[in-house]
Chain A
């Protein structure tokens, strides 16, 4: 089970390259943490790790994994919660994580395309303005 989590971590390194950002580092970023919040690599990392957790171990044991291994990796903060509260929070998080991550990543992808289209569409006007 731990090997499966570590496998997901190594996969995330090769896929995202953003696994080094922990929750403490994201909180220490200041205003830049909002940039980290809308990065699609963060949500992809969440989907891979939580999906691997859900597929590999029992639901009651996932809280232990979260608190001991991946609790500080930025997608679920179980550090300052008691055991019952952490378990309830994890259940509420885990029930809807895949739909939420899918919607957020689709929104990010569409927003990037809309921004690219706006840059392409208004490039003559921007060229006139920046001359």
Chain B
């Protein structure tokens, strides 16, 4: 599990570097902000780093096979978009609950 977590973080580091660079390379000459390029790039790298942390958390909690139906079910079934409804949906269809029902034939 430690190797899986390190791999998730390591894969995201490369994207945190090149994706803001690509975005700024396309959009900086269009929007012409007063902030210099390198300072804006540093802020976007930081934003991307935080966003990838949230993505890692959701990728751990939610089962990727159930990700689409979980999102649709969260929107359709819960009248108010509250945190409780999201948590109940995750606990009902997420990876943890689904792994709990699964019959484990090999040592986890």
Which residues in A have some Cβ–Cβ distance to B below 8 Å?
Answer: 4, 7-8, 10-11, 15-16, 40-41, 44, 47-48, 51-52, 55-56, 102, 105-106, 108-113, 115-117, 119-121, 123-124, 126-128, 130-131
Cβ–Cβ < 8 Å partners of A40 in chain B: 47, 50-51, 54
CB pair B31–A11 under 8 Å, yes or no, is yes
| Interface footprint category on B | 35 or more
B95 at the interface (CB under 8 A from A): yes
User: Per a CB cutoff under 8 Å, which of B2, B31, B53, B57 touches A119?
Assistant: B57
Contact with A along B83-108 (1 / 0, CB 8 A): 00000000100011101110000001
- What would be 29 A-B contacts, judged by CB atoms less than 8 Å apart? A16-B47, A40-B50, A44-B46, A44-B50, A51-B43, A52-B33, A55-B34, A55-B35, A55-B39, A105-B47, A109-B53, A110-B53, A111-B53, A112-B50, A112-B54, A112-B57, A116-B57, A116-B60, A117-B5, A119-B61, A120-B1, A121-B1, A121-B2, A123-B95, A126-B100, A127-B100, A128-B100, A131-B100, A131-B101
